[in-house]
Amino acid sequence: MLPPFLERAILAVILISINASLAGTFTIFRDASFLVAGAAHAALAGAALAIVVEEAGFHVPVLLGGLIFAVATAITAGYASGKGKLSGTEDTNTAIAVSFALSMSLAVLFISMIREYAARVWGLLIGDLFLLSYSDLKLMFASTLFVVLVSVIFHRAFLFISFDAEAAMAYGVNVRLYDYIMLSTVAVSVVVIMGGVGAILVFAMFVAPSATAAKIAGTVGSVFLLSFVISLICGLLGIYLSFNFPFSPGAIAALIASTTYFASIFVK
């Protein structure tokens, strides 16, 4: 029988892989991968604020604080998009850049308010799959369930606005509304993955598997499936290697995922 901490780590990897497959693939199709970094920075600020509030005597789940900030940043980015297109507009890029600065400023401010902050902040930055609690897993599971439901209900609209937003507008599709829903879903997934691998490595685990799948898969459906498989294998390998060697599981998983992407380019 596996130790409880190892069981939690494996369950977390499965949840992370589901989010990387669904929200990560939509992000690649939408050409909005830069937003992932913004949401991760915002989630870091929200998580740090949750710790500050907790030290003041009010219990707020760390991931919940990150979730609120990440969704707010995603909606702001959607609002900054003038015609529902999230890439290639100066206003959108500027808004995201300012969001980066604002989020990191708040994160540093809140971190400086945390007593004995070194260990907890280190956990927020790089994460540790072996230190996840059952409470963390419950929030990750609830968030993943939300992502799955939204992806199933709106996947056709998401694909339509991702590949041809102008045509979708011509057909009368409310592109702005679906942008808000999609970006909020991406933000939720970012927080789920951040809970396992930390804010620094979110981008690798979120974008790399889907980007790799998009390079080598032949159909849209196979991109979703292959990105899940790649993310799952990377996560499990990270756990296995870190369980036998003094490595960070998240770092190993992100390193393998990133290497796989570059390997797919060379193979192509």
What local confidence, expressed as pLDDT, does residue 166 receive? 84
What local confidence, expressed as pLDDT, does residue 84 receive? 43
In this predicted model, what pLDDT tens digit does every residue of 222-260 receive, in sequence order?
999 999 999 999 999 999 998 888 888 888 999 999 999
In this predicted model, what pLDDT tens digit does every residue of 52-104 receive, in sequence order?
888 777 887 888 888 888 888 888 777 766 544 554 455 556 666 777 778 78
Contact 73, 231 (CB under 8 A): no
Where does the chain have alpha helices with state H?
4-30, 34-55, 62-80, 90-112, 117-126, 134-163, 165-170, 175-216, 220-244, 249-267
- DSSP for 193-215? HHHHHHHHHHHHHHHHHHHHHHH
Percent of the chain exceeding pLDDT 70 equals 90
Which stretch of 19-28, 137-146, 173-182, 234-243 has the lowest confidence by average pLDDT?
173-182
CA–CA distances in Å: residue 132 to residues 135, 144, 191: 8, 16, 14
Q: What's the average model confidence in pLDDT over 186-215? A: 87
Q: Is the pLDDT of residue 149 over 90?
A: yes
Tell me how far the alpha carbon of residue 16 is from its chain's centroid. Answer: 8
Contact 91, 82 (CB under 8 A): yes
Q: Is the pLDDT of residue 150 over 60?
A: yes
CATH number given to 4-199: 1.10.3470.10
pLDDT band per the 50, 70, 90 thresholds, residue 117: low
Where are the domains positioned within the chain? 4-199
CA–CA distances in Å: residue 263 to residues 22, 229, 244: 22, 16, 26
* Nearest alpha-carbon partner for 127 in 41, 60, 194, 49: 194
pTM: 0.86
134's tokens: 């059952």
What local confidence, expressed as pLDDT, does residue 36 receive? 81
